Amino acid sequence: MDESYKTIIGDKTSEFQHMAGSDGVQEPRIWSSPEGGRKIEIGKQIFCNRSLNMRNILAVGFDMDYTLAQYIPETFESLAYEGTIKKLVYDLGYPQELLGWSFDWKYMVRGLVLDKKRGNILKMDRHKYVKVAYHGFQEMSKEEKVGTYGNTLIRDSFDEPDYALIDTLFSLAEAYLFAQLVDFKDSNPGKIPERADYARMYKDVRAAVDSCHRDGTLKQTVTKDPRSLWDYTNVVMDFLCGSHVLDSSRACNFDWLMYFDIVITGSAKPGFFHEDNRANLFEVEPESGMLRNTDNGTPMPQVGNSSPRIVLKKSNAPCQIFQGGSVGHLHKLLSIESSSQVLYVGDHIYGDILRSKKVLGWRTMLVVPELEREVKLLWSLRNSRKLLRLMRNERDQIEDQIHHMKWFLKFEDLNVDQKQKTSDGIDELESRRDQVRTSHQQDQRECHQKFHKIWGQLMKTGYQNSRFAHQVERFACLYTSQVSNLSLYSPYKYYRPCEDFMPHEFDILPL
């Protein structure tokens, strides 16, 4: 395999290697080493929204893509972008000049919402107020934004089918391409295929991206000619857990299976999480990738074939590999009695976290790779943020003073001199308030731009939590920047959330 393919998946799993050396000798795990229990650097900490005692967890499940395997977006998402453009041009009649376009992988971020009909890209707060809005790449004025989204009645929609949520890193390329097409259509209306309004363009992009995922455009670049989803999983996991070589022609030794009891590929989440999902469960024969039928999770022995259960060379621990099925099968295979005994770790707030929490009541951990940079920046900007808070308080105090003086002027029986003095005082205060307000806005904007030049801090919009942060808070029991951070904590860790604060408590309890 071409060496350049190696850069598609990041090696964020170095801690895994402390579990078993390449010679198979067990090395001390971080949590049982003397280093365990020390202060963990902020970018690698696990943050807790809901108490979770790991002693009560019987099974920990891991999603693979963008959870265990951190694809590098500048290469992996560029593949999706280029593949999508080719499909738009060659299959859907979009103009050839799209082939010369390029992808700025840093432009879009998770948590954004696409307004398909209007061609807008939005960032909103937890109350679904639109705080940042662009038409294509053109920033919308405050008036346009309020005119379009200010109506409180439409605020609780912002969901499919008219809106698309950018909630996985897989969606960055399609969001960027949508913005490019909106700009292109606005300045070249005749060049876009007939009847393609913004919503149609979105649909075309979505269909083309979907097809890139289905027809192997992406997976074939990660590993040449994967014969099945199992084959692909095997190559990626083999790379992550030891070999660091993405080579499907190399004979895999399946060593990575020693870390797992069960592997399921092609689970078709989020449908997998519905117990009434009657999807068939097949057992996978690891060497050949052949599927065997099972009877509700119990493999059905086949005449003339050996059992597909792998007995691992090193640990003698069996690991079973399946394709399809649903959560009922999984619970049965693992002898799970209560769904609160399962912790599931994933990167997709909707497909992994929200569905498994809402439908099943599994405990959840969200992997947010962006978090590492975000918390480090927060830390370095802590003094500026304190100053911002002080400026905001000063602005509020001046504003209150102005209001009082205005009422005084209006309702009290004042002589000419008193009236003049009060008016002058109001003028002075108004000019001071304007100064403070302007510098506060400027400094606040600059602070946000340090996180992202367009969209600001991932978890905030202004002073409010972003919609994305709100979802994380509601549905992820735990969240962290990468899976391997788990190895920095004891497997018996009792994760406890920090104290909740209501606005009335802030001035009473020092933070």
Ligand X SMILES: Nc1nc2c(ncn2[C@@H]2O[C@H](COP(=O)(O)O)[C@@H](O)[C@H]2O)c(=O)[nH]1
Which residues in this chain contact ligand X in the complex, by CB under 6 A? 63-66, 170, 209-210, 213-214, 218, 269, 348, 351-352
Question: How many CA atoms lie less than 13 Å away from 329 in the CB half-sphere?
Answer: 26
**210 binds, options Mg ion, ligand X, none, Cβ within 5 to 8 A by partner type:** ligand X
Q: Which of 261, 206, 468 is nearest to 347 (CA)?
A: 468
Shortest reach from residue 181's CB to ligand X, in Å: 17
Closer of 213 and 309 to ligand X (Cβ)? 213
Closest CB 263 distance from ligand X, rounded Å: 12
Query: In which order are the strands placed within the sheet that holds 342-346?
Result: 47-48, 478-480, 363-367, 342-346, 59-62
Min CB(77)–ligand X separation in Å: 11
Minimum separation from the CB atom of position 281 to ligand X (A): 17
User: Considering only residues 62, 66, 71, 149, which one is a binding residue for Mg ion as defined by CB under 5 A?
Assistant: 66
Q: How many CB atoms lie within 10 A of CB 175?
A: 22
| 137, amino acid identity | F
Which one, 121 or 349, has the nearer CB to ligand X? 349
Q: Among residues 273 and 468, whose Cβ is nearest to ligand X?
A: 273
- Please, are residues 126 and 116 in contact by the beta-carbon 8 Å criterion? no
Nearer to Mg ion, 132 or 175 (CB): 175
Provide, rounded to whole angstroms, the least separation between the CB of residue 66 and Mg ion.
4
170 binds, among Mg ion, ligand X, none (CB under 5 to 8 A by kind): ligand X
Nearest to ligand X of 231, 352 (CB atom): 352
d(CA 43, CA 370) in angstroms, rounded, equals 10
Minimum CB distance to ligand X, residue 348 (Å)? 5
Structure tokens at 77: 């998402």
Rg (CA), the chain: 27
What tokens were used for 282? 């097949």
Nearer to Mg ion, 173 or 388 (CB): 173
CA distance 498 to 511: 12
Residue 167 found at the interface with Mg ion (CB under 5 A):
no
Work out what residue 456 binds among Mg ion, ligand X, none; the CB cut-off runs from 5 to 8 Å by kind: none
- Which of ligand X, Mg ion, none interacts with 103 (beta carbon under 5 to 8 A by kind)? none
- Give the nearest distance from C-beta 358 to ligand X in angstroms: 16
**Close Cβ partners of 48 (under 8 Å, ≥ 6 residues apart):** 477, 478, 495, 496, 497, 498
β partners of residue 9: 71
| Number of residues located near Mg ion, criterion CB under 5 A | 5
Q: Say if residues 54 and 478 touch (Cβ distance below 8 Å).
A: no
Q: Which of Mg ion, ligand X, none sits in contact with 209, Cβ below 5 to 8 A by type?
A: ligand X
Cα 105 from Cα 176, distance rounded (Å): 8
Binding mask 103-132 for Mg ion (x = CB under 5 A): ------------------------------
CB of 135 to ligand X, least distance (A): 24
Q: Binding to Mg ion (CB under 5 A): which residues in 246-305? A: none
The one-character DSSP state at 181 is H
- Strand ranges across the sheet with 138-139: 138-139, 130-135, 120-124, 112-115, 163-166
| Least gap, CB of 265 to Mg ion (angstroms) | 13
92 near 118, Cβ under 8 Å? no
Which residue in 45, 47, 65, 109 binds Mg ion (CB under 5 A)?
Answer: 65
The residue sitting closest to Mg ion, measured at its beta carbon, is 65
Nearest distance from C-beta of residue 292 to ligand X, angstroms = 22
DSSP code string of 2-27: -GGGGGGEE---GGGGGTS-TTSPPP
Cβ distance to ligand X smaller for residue 77 or 125: 77
Name which of residues 343 to 362 contact Mg ion (CB under 5 A).
Answer: 347
- Judged by beta carbon distances under 5 to 8 A according to partner kind, the member of ligand X, Mg ion, none in contact with residue 351 is ligand X
Residue 459 main-chain phi, psi, to 5 deg? -90, 0
Smallest separation, CB 205 to ligand X (Å): 10
In this structure, what DSSP letter does residue 49 have? S
Nearer to Mg ion, 52 or 353 (CB): 353
Query: Any bridge partners for residue 265, and if so which?
Result: 323
Distance CA 171, CA 160 (A): 15
**Is 79 or 130 the residue whose CB approaches ligand X more closely?**
79
Other residues' Cβ atoms within 10 Å of the Cβ of residue 262 = 17
Query: Considering the complex, what minimum distance in angstroms separates the CB of residue 121 from ligand X?
Result: 18
The one of Mg ion, ligand X, none whose footprint includes residue 421, by CB under 5 to 8 A per kind, is none
Cα–Cα nearest to 266, from 222, 234, 303, 296: 234
Alpha helices of 120-161 — where are they, by DSSP H? Answer: 142-149
Residue 139 φ/ψ, nearest 5 degrees: -65, 135
Please, which residue, 124 or 218, has the CB nearer to ligand X? 218
Residue 269 contact, options ligand X, Mg ion, none, Cβ 5-8 Å cut-off depending on partner type: ligand X
Instruction: Give the total residue count for the chain.
Output: 511
Nearer to ligand X, 64 or 199 (CB): 64
| Comparison of 265 and 457: residue with beta carbon closer to Mg ion | 265
The item of ligand X, Mg ion, none sharing an interface with residue 365, based on CB under 5 to 8 Å by kind, is none
The binding site for Mg ion (CB under 5 A) comprises 63, 65-67, 347
